[in-house]
Amino acid sequence: MAVIITLFSFLFVFILVIALGLLFTYRRSQVVERLTKIRSMSEEADPEDMLRLPFAERVFVPALTGMGRTLGSLAPGEFRLRMEKRILYAGTPWHLNFYSILALQVLLGGAFLIFTVLLLGLAQVESGRMLLIVILMTAVGLFLPVGVINNLGETRQKKIRRALPDMLDLLLVSVEAGLGFDMALKKVTQQMPGPLSLEIKLALDEIRMGGTRETALRGIARRTGVSELSSFISAVIQSEQLGSNIAGTLRVQSDYMRQKRKQQAEEMAMKAPIKIIFPLIFFIFPALFVVILGPAVIRMIQMFPTIF
Protein backbone atom coordinates (compact mmCIF):
# COMPACT_ATOMS: atom_id res chain seq x y z
CA MET A 1 0.00 0.00 0.00
CA ALA A 2 2.84 2.40 0.86
CA VAL A 3 4.49 1.69 -2.51
CA ILE A 4 1.26 2.46 -4.38
CA ILE A 5 0.75 5.69 -2.46
CA THR A 6 4.35 6.75 -3.17
CA LEU A 7 3.95 5.94 -6.86
CA PHE A 8 0.70 7.91 -7.13
CA SER A 9 2.24 10.83 -5.24
CA PHE A 10 5.22 10.92 -7.59
CA LEU A 11 2.91 10.77 -10.62
CA PHE A 12 0.76 13.59 -9.27
CA VAL A 13 3.76 15.83 -8.52
CA PHE A 14 5.23 15.09 -11.98
CA ILE A 15 2.00 16.03 -13.77
CA LEU A 16 1.58 19.14 -11.63
CA VAL A 17 5.13 20.32 -12.32
CA ILE A 18 4.64 19.84 -16.06
CA ALA A 19 1.37 21.79 -16.04
CA LEU A 20 2.80 24.65 -13.97
CA GLY A 21 5.92 24.76 -16.10
CA LEU A 22 3.87 25.05 -19.26
CA LEU A 23 1.71 27.77 -17.78
CA PHE A 24 4.43 29.97 -16.30
CA THR A 25 7.54 29.34 -18.42
CA TYR A 26 6.14 29.20 -21.94
CA ARG A 27 6.37 32.96 -22.51
CA ARG A 28 7.96 34.50 -25.56
CA SER A 29 8.13 38.06 -26.73
CA GLN A 30 6.43 39.15 -29.94
CA VAL A 31 9.81 39.55 -31.65
CA VAL A 32 10.86 36.01 -30.84
CA GLU A 33 7.47 34.68 -31.93
CA ARG A 34 7.70 36.51 -35.25
CA LEU A 35 11.22 35.25 -35.88
CA THR A 36 10.08 31.72 -35.06
CA LYS A 37 7.23 31.98 -37.58
CA ILE A 38 9.59 33.30 -40.25
CA ARG A 39 12.06 30.53 -39.50
CA SER A 40 9.30 27.92 -39.73
CA MET A 41 8.51 29.07 -43.28
CA SER A 42 11.81 27.69 -44.50
CA GLU A 43 11.88 24.12 -45.74
CA GLU A 44 14.70 23.00 -43.45
CA ALA A 45 14.97 23.95 -39.79
CA ASP A 46 18.39 24.70 -38.32
CA PRO A 47 19.19 22.16 -35.56
CA GLU A 48 21.33 24.73 -33.74
CA ASP A 49 18.37 27.13 -33.56
CA MET A 50 16.20 24.34 -32.18
CA LEU A 51 18.79 23.62 -29.47
CA ARG A 52 18.72 27.27 -28.39
CA LEU A 53 15.06 26.96 -27.42
CA PRO A 54 14.17 26.32 -23.76
CA PHE A 55 13.76 22.72 -22.68
CA ALA A 56 10.02 23.21 -22.09
CA GLU A 57 9.50 24.39 -25.67
CA ARG A 58 11.57 21.55 -27.15
CA VAL A 59 10.08 18.69 -25.14
CA PHE A 60 6.96 19.47 -23.10
CA VAL A 61 5.16 21.78 -25.54
CA PRO A 62 5.39 19.43 -28.56
CA ALA A 63 4.31 16.50 -26.38
CA LEU A 64 1.40 18.51 -25.00
CA THR A 65 0.38 19.69 -28.47
CA GLY A 66 0.60 16.17 -29.88
CA MET A 67 -1.53 14.83 -27.06
CA GLY A 68 -4.03 17.62 -27.62
CA ARG A 69 -4.19 16.92 -31.37
CA THR A 70 -4.97 13.29 -30.70
CA LEU A 71 -7.79 14.24 -28.34
CA GLY A 72 -8.90 17.19 -30.48
CA SER A 73 -9.87 14.91 -33.35
CA LEU A 74 -12.61 13.54 -31.10
CA ALA A 75 -13.92 16.96 -30.01
CA PRO A 76 -16.92 18.50 -31.82
CA GLY A 77 -16.13 21.23 -34.32
CA GLU A 78 -18.47 23.70 -32.65
CA PHE A 79 -16.71 23.24 -29.30
CA ARG A 80 -13.33 23.81 -30.95
CA LEU A 81 -14.46 27.04 -32.64
CA ARG A 82 -15.98 28.34 -29.41
CA MET A 83 -12.82 27.52 -27.46
CA GLU A 84 -10.55 29.13 -30.05
CA LYS A 85 -12.68 32.27 -29.89
CA ARG A 86 -12.36 32.37 -26.09
CA ILE A 87 -8.58 32.01 -26.37
CA LEU A 88 -8.51 34.93 -28.83
CA TYR A 89 -10.61 37.06 -26.49
CA ALA A 90 -8.17 36.29 -23.67
CA GLY A 91 -5.25 37.51 -25.81
CA THR A 92 -3.78 34.02 -26.41
CA PRO A 93 -2.18 33.80 -22.94
CA TRP A 94 1.11 31.88 -22.74
CA HIS A 95 0.70 31.18 -26.48
CA LEU A 96 -1.79 28.44 -25.73
CA ASN A 97 -4.06 26.98 -28.39
CA PHE A 98 -7.04 24.66 -28.45
CA TYR A 99 -4.94 21.50 -28.40
CA SER A 100 -2.76 22.59 -25.48
CA ILE A 101 -5.83 23.65 -23.49
CA LEU A 102 -7.42 20.26 -24.15
CA ALA A 103 -4.26 18.45 -23.03
CA LEU A 104 -4.06 20.61 -19.89
CA GLN A 105 -7.65 19.69 -19.08
CA VAL A 106 -6.83 16.00 -19.28
CA LEU A 107 -3.63 16.38 -17.22
CA LEU A 108 -5.24 18.46 -14.49
CA GLY A 109 -8.28 16.21 -14.40
CA GLY A 110 -6.04 13.18 -13.92
CA ALA A 111 -3.93 14.98 -11.30
CA PHE A 112 -7.00 16.03 -9.31
CA LEU A 113 -8.38 12.49 -9.59
CA ILE A 114 -5.19 10.86 -8.27
CA PHE A 115 -4.68 13.40 -5.50
CA THR A 116 -8.30 13.14 -4.33
CA VAL A 117 -8.23 9.33 -4.32
CA LEU A 118 -5.01 9.37 -2.28
CA LEU A 119 -6.34 11.82 0.30
CA LEU A 120 -9.70 10.14 0.68
CA GLY A 121 -8.03 6.72 0.85
CA LEU A 122 -5.81 7.88 3.69
CA ALA A 123 -8.81 9.45 5.43
CA GLN A 124 -10.80 6.18 5.00
CA VAL A 125 -13.90 7.89 3.63
CA GLU A 126 -16.85 5.63 2.81
CA SER A 127 -17.17 4.52 -0.81
CA GLY A 128 -20.38 6.40 -1.70
CA ARG A 129 -19.17 9.76 -0.45
CA MET A 130 -15.70 9.08 -1.88
CA LEU A 131 -17.09 8.49 -5.38
CA LEU A 132 -19.05 11.75 -5.27
CA ILE A 133 -16.04 13.79 -4.10
CA VAL A 134 -13.77 12.18 -6.69
CA ILE A 135 -16.19 13.00 -9.52
CA LEU A 136 -16.54 16.58 -8.28
CA MET A 137 -12.78 17.19 -7.97
CA THR A 138 -12.11 15.59 -11.36
CA ALA A 139 -14.67 17.93 -12.92
CA VAL A 140 -12.92 20.87 -11.23
CA GLY A 141 -9.61 19.81 -12.76
CA LEU A 142 -11.17 19.37 -16.20
CA PHE A 143 -12.88 22.75 -16.27
CA LEU A 144 -10.16 24.76 -14.49
CA PRO A 145 -8.22 25.74 -17.67
CA VAL A 146 -11.45 26.78 -19.39
CA GLY A 147 -12.47 28.85 -16.38
CA VAL A 148 -9.08 30.59 -16.31
CA ILE A 149 -9.31 31.38 -20.03
CA ASN A 150 -12.85 32.74 -19.64
CA ASN A 151 -11.82 34.88 -16.67
CA LEU A 152 -8.82 36.28 -18.56
CA GLY A 153 -11.03 37.04 -21.55
CA GLU A 154 -13.64 38.87 -19.49
CA THR A 155 -10.97 40.88 -17.65
CA ARG A 156 -9.33 41.83 -20.93
CA GLN A 157 -12.64 42.91 -22.47
CA LYS A 158 -13.39 45.07 -19.43
CA LYS A 159 -10.02 46.80 -19.77
CA ILE A 160 -10.68 47.45 -23.46
CA ARG A 161 -14.14 48.87 -22.76
CA ARG A 162 -12.73 51.10 -20.03
CA ALA A 163 -9.94 52.43 -22.28
CA LEU A 164 -12.05 52.89 -25.41
CA PRO A 165 -13.59 56.35 -24.66
CA ASP A 166 -10.20 57.83 -23.68
CA MET A 167 -8.65 56.30 -26.78
CA LEU A 168 -11.31 57.90 -28.97
CA ASP A 169 -10.74 61.31 -27.36
CA LEU A 170 -6.99 61.11 -27.95
CA LEU A 171 -7.56 59.85 -31.49
CA LEU A 172 -9.93 62.74 -32.20
CA VAL A 173 -7.48 65.32 -30.86
CA SER A 174 -4.64 63.82 -32.92
CA VAL A 175 -6.67 63.79 -36.15
CA GLU A 176 -7.90 67.33 -35.63
CA ALA A 177 -4.29 68.40 -35.00
CA GLY A 178 -3.39 67.28 -38.53
CA LEU A 179 -2.16 63.70 -38.13
CA GLY A 180 -3.28 60.98 -40.47
CA PHE A 181 -5.47 58.21 -39.12
CA ASP A 182 -2.66 55.65 -39.03
CA MET A 183 -0.24 58.06 -37.36
CA ALA A 184 -2.97 58.97 -34.85
CA LEU A 185 -3.40 55.28 -34.02
CA LYS A 186 0.36 54.99 -33.52
CA LYS A 187 0.24 58.01 -31.20
CA VAL A 188 -2.51 56.32 -29.18
CA THR A 189 -0.42 53.16 -28.74
CA GLN A 190 2.46 55.26 -27.40
CA GLN A 191 0.36 57.21 -24.91
CA MET A 192 -2.06 54.51 -23.67
CA PRO A 193 -0.46 51.15 -22.84
CA GLY A 194 -2.80 48.21 -22.40
CA PRO A 195 -4.53 45.42 -24.31
CA LEU A 196 -6.25 47.87 -26.66
CA SER A 197 -2.91 49.41 -27.62
CA LEU A 198 -1.46 45.95 -28.25
CA GLU A 199 -4.30 45.12 -30.62
CA ILE A 200 -3.85 48.43 -32.46
CA LYS A 201 -0.12 47.71 -32.79
CA LEU A 202 -0.89 44.34 -34.36
CA ALA A 203 -3.24 46.05 -36.82
CA LEU A 204 -0.62 48.68 -37.72
CA ASP A 205 1.97 45.95 -38.25
CA GLU A 206 -0.45 44.16 -40.56
CA ILE A 207 -0.99 47.38 -42.54
CA ARG A 208 2.77 47.95 -42.83
CA MET A 209 3.20 44.41 -44.16
CA GLY A 210 0.80 45.15 -47.01
CA GLY A 211 -2.62 44.36 -45.57
CA THR A 212 -5.59 46.63 -46.09
CA ARG A 213 -6.80 48.91 -43.33
CA GLU A 214 -10.27 47.34 -43.39
CA THR A 215 -8.90 43.82 -42.87
CA ALA A 216 -6.58 44.96 -40.08
CA LEU A 217 -9.31 46.84 -38.23
CA ARG A 218 -11.77 43.99 -38.55
CA GLY A 219 -9.09 41.72 -37.13
CA ILE A 220 -9.12 43.85 -33.96
CA ALA A 221 -12.87 43.34 -33.61
CA ARG A 222 -12.49 39.61 -34.22
CA ARG A 223 -9.73 39.18 -31.61
CA THR A 224 -11.40 41.24 -28.88
CA GLY A 225 -15.12 40.47 -29.16
CA VAL A 226 -16.07 43.90 -27.71
CA SER A 227 -19.30 45.15 -29.25
CA GLU A 228 -18.48 48.83 -28.68
CA LEU A 229 -15.14 48.47 -30.44
CA SER A 230 -16.79 46.59 -33.31
CA SER A 231 -19.30 49.41 -33.71
CA PHE A 232 -16.50 52.00 -33.81
CA ILE A 233 -14.51 50.00 -36.38
CA SER A 234 -17.59 49.58 -38.59
CA ALA A 235 -18.21 53.34 -38.46
CA VAL A 236 -14.58 54.10 -39.41
CA ILE A 237 -14.63 51.64 -42.31
CA GLN A 238 -17.93 53.03 -43.57
CA SER A 239 -16.59 56.58 -43.31
CA GLU A 240 -13.51 55.60 -45.32
CA GLN A 241 -15.57 53.88 -48.00
CA LEU A 242 -17.94 56.84 -48.35
CA GLY A 243 -15.14 59.40 -48.25
CA SER A 244 -16.63 61.40 -45.39
CA ASN A 245 -14.72 63.38 -42.78
CA ILE A 246 -13.01 60.98 -40.36
CA ALA A 247 -12.84 63.65 -37.64
CA GLY A 248 -16.62 64.02 -37.62
CA THR A 249 -17.03 60.26 -37.35
CA LEU A 250 -14.59 60.14 -34.45
CA ARG A 251 -16.41 62.98 -32.68
CA VAL A 252 -19.76 61.21 -32.99
CA GLN A 253 -18.28 57.92 -31.80
CA SER A 254 -16.52 59.60 -28.87
CA ASP A 255 -19.75 61.21 -27.68
CA TYR A 256 -21.58 57.91 -28.10
CA MET A 257 -18.96 55.98 -26.08
CA ARG A 258 -19.02 58.57 -23.31
CA GLN A 259 -22.79 58.40 -23.12
CA LYS A 260 -22.76 54.61 -23.12
CA ARG A 261 -20.17 54.48 -20.33
CA LYS A 262 -22.30 56.90 -18.31
CA GLN A 263 -25.34 54.65 -18.81
CA GLN A 264 -23.33 51.60 -17.73
CA ALA A 265 -22.20 53.42 -14.58
CA GLU A 266 -25.80 54.37 -13.78
CA GLU A 267 -26.88 50.76 -14.35
CA MET A 268 -24.20 49.47 -11.98
CA ALA A 269 -25.25 52.07 -9.40
CA MET A 270 -28.85 50.86 -9.63
CA LYS A 271 -27.73 47.25 -9.08
CA ALA A 272 -25.63 48.10 -6.01
CA PRO A 273 -28.52 48.17 -3.45
CA ILE A 274 -29.64 44.72 -4.57
CA LYS A 275 -26.13 43.25 -4.46
CA ILE A 276 -25.49 44.59 -0.97
CA ILE A 277 -28.55 42.85 0.53
CA PHE A 278 -26.86 39.47 1.02
CA PRO A 279 -23.65 40.77 2.68
CA LEU A 280 -25.85 43.01 4.82
CA ILE A 281 -28.04 40.14 6.02
CA PHE A 282 -25.38 37.48 6.53
CA PHE A 283 -22.38 39.52 7.72
CA ILE A 284 -23.24 43.06 8.87
CA PHE A 285 -26.56 42.52 10.68
CA PRO A 286 -25.31 39.58 12.85
CA ALA A 287 -22.32 41.66 14.00
CA LEU A 288 -24.61 44.59 14.83
CA PHE A 289 -27.00 42.33 16.75
CA VAL A 290 -24.12 40.92 18.80
CA VAL A 291 -22.84 44.41 19.66
CA ILE A 292 -26.25 45.94 20.38
CA LEU A 293 -28.14 43.04 21.96
CA GLY A 294 -25.19 41.20 23.51
CA PRO A 295 -25.01 43.30 26.74
CA ALA A 296 -28.80 43.14 27.17
CA VAL A 297 -28.78 39.34 26.83
CA ILE A 298 -25.94 39.03 29.36
CA ARG A 299 -27.85 41.29 31.77
CA MET A 300 -31.03 39.20 31.41
CA ILE A 301 -29.06 36.02 32.12
CA GLN A 302 -27.67 37.58 35.28
CA MET A 303 -31.11 38.79 36.41
CA PHE A 304 -32.92 35.49 35.74
CA PRO A 305 -30.38 32.73 36.40
CA THR A 306 -33.08 30.19 37.10
CA ILE A 307 -34.60 30.57 33.64
CA PHE A 308 -31.34 30.42 31.69
Are 184 and 109 members of one domain? no
Cα gap 74→63, rounded to integer Å: 18
Q: What pLDDT shows up at residue 155?
A: 92
Report mean pLDDT in 10-residue bins for the chain, 308 residues: 54 58 48 52 46 56 63 73 88 80 83 84 77 86 88 91 88 85 86 88 88 88 88 88 83 85 85 85 85 83 74
Contact 86, 155 (CB under 8 A): no
DSSP secondary structure letters along 96-153: --HHHHHHHHHHHHHHHHHHHHHHHHHHT--HHHHHHHHHHHHHHHHHHHHHHHHHHH
Q: What pLDDT shows up at residue 131?
A: 83
Q: What pLDDT shows up at residue 266?
A: 87
Q: Kindly provide the residue ranges of all beta strands, DSSP E only, lying in the chain, ordered along the sequence.
A: none
Q: Look at residue 149 and tell me if it is in a domain.
A: no
Q: Look at residue 304 and tell me if it is in a domain.
A: no
Are 111 and 162 members of one domain? no
Are 176 and 109 members of one domain? no
Are 82 and 168 members of one domain? no
Q: Report the Cα–Cα distance between both ends of the chain, in Å, rounded.
A: 54
Structural domain range at position 237:
158-272
- Count up the domains in the chain and report the number: 2
Q: Look at residue 65 and tell me if it is in a domain.
A: yes
Cα gap 72→224, rounded to integer Å: 24
